[in-house]
């Protein structure tokens, strides 16, 4: 049986959340209402995406297109400025089952603004309609497309980065490994935000979860769904912490959330990247819950954390031009 994870429950928010987070959570919960089917959750999230919209900066150009080879739609956010520059391919969160370029439009807009890079937001195939390995192959085809079409996209094909939040970080982490193993395209860096790096339901952080977005039942449902779908692959795709070789990967910027029950596994993943000879820059956003970057419309502290992510990205690509 496939169990679908939703992105919030009906419990109250913990006290002391940073400014604006309670308003964001209330907006999401009002839109979803009582428990829904997966079909309804996806529909409502896209129908009401405007409630989370983040204003686009003056001069930002946005357009949609399709990556035919991958069978996926993408949305490009090109910041103000002439000439080619770096690009970030972004995979949204949603527990592998929900999320879209519309429901994560605000996050992608804010990411493009903060990094001054072209952001390519990916509307990837989700579980349970596909399998984890098929998701990863699709991700690789989109990376190859962006590199191949860099001139038409107006981006620098030598400065391609990948990013993801939550389940999207899981995919981005795997994509970095797959691109290394296939000899490219080269990835300049990876931005991983409150990611899923383990699929162990026995983790202490899961048992003690008090995150308003990721209570224990939601985590268990996400893991159950993933495992059921991975069983359809010839070889199940492990969590990033289950990857044997993490050497020769692009530098990683990891932004975590203090309330996130998956925070400890993010720290474990960063430690393994460094042990393998890589670079991993970490920050934990104080008081924040899982998924907080979607709250940039509501919360000045969330916008400040997005600003940190942008500065960290620019410093990594052009260290002489900015400082953390």
Q: Mind telling me the catalytic residues?
A: 166, 260, 290
CB atoms near residue 141 (< 10 Å):
16
Please list, in sequence order, all residues whose beta carbon lies within 8 angstroms of the beta carbon of residue 222, skipping any fewer than 6 positions away.
5, 95, 96, 97, 167, 196
Over the range 153-162, which residues count as b (16 or more CB within 10 Å of their CB) and which as e? bbbbbebbbb
Beta bridge partner(s), residue 285: 257
What's phi and psi for 230, nearest 5 deg?
A: -65, -25
Q: Is the CB of residue 53 less than 8 Å from the CB of residue 105?
A: yes
Separation between Cα atoms, residue 176 and residue 194, nearest integer Å: 17
What's phi and psi for 231, nearest 5 deg?
A: -65, -15
Separation between Cα atoms, residue 175 and residue 191, nearest integer Å: 12
What's phi and psi for 257, nearest 5 deg?
A: -125, 135
Between helix 21-32 and helix 300-317 the angle, nearest 10°, is 100
């Amino acid at each position: 049986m496939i169990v679908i994870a939703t992105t919030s429950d009906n419990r109250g928010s913990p006290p002391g959340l940073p400014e604006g987070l309670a308003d964001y959570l209330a907006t999401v919960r009002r839109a979803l209402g009582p428990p829904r089917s997966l079909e309804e959750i996806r529909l409502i999230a896209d129908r009401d995406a405007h409630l989370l919209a983040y204003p686009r900066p003056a001069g930002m150009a946005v357009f949609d297109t399709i990556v035919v080879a991958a069978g996926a739609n993408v949305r490009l956010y090109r910041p103000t400025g002439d000439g080619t520059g770096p690009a970030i391919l972004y995979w949204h969160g949603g527990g592998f089952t929900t999320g879209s370029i519309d429901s994560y439009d605000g996050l992608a807009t804010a990411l493009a603004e903060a990094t001054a890079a072209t952001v390519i937001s990916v509307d990837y195939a989700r579980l349970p309609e596909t399998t984890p390995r098929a998701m990863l192959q699709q991700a690789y085809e989109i990376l190859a497309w962006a590199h191949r079409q860099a001139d038409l996209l107006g981006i620098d094909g030598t400065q391609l980065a990948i990013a993801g939040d939550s389940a999207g970080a899981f995919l981005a982490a795997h994509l970095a490994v797959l691109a290394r193993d296939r000899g490219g395209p080269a990835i300049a860096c990876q931005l991983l935000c409150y990611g899923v790096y383990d699929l162990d339901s026995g983790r202490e952080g899961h048992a003690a979860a008090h995150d308003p977005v990721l209570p224990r039942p939601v985590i268990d449902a996400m893991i159950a769904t993933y495992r059921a779908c991975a069983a359809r692959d010839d070889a199940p795709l492990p969590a990033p912490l289950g990857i044997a070789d993490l050497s020769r990967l692009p530098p990683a910027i990891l932004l975590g959330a203090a309330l996130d029950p998956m925070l400890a596994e993010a720290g474990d993943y960063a430690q393994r990247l460094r042990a393998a000879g890589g670079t991993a820059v970490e920050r934990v956003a104080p008081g924040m819950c899982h998924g907080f970057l979607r709250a940039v419309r509501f919360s000045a502290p969330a916008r400040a954390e997005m600003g940190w992510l942008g500065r960290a990205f620019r410093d990594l690509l052009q260290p002489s031009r900015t400082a953390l």
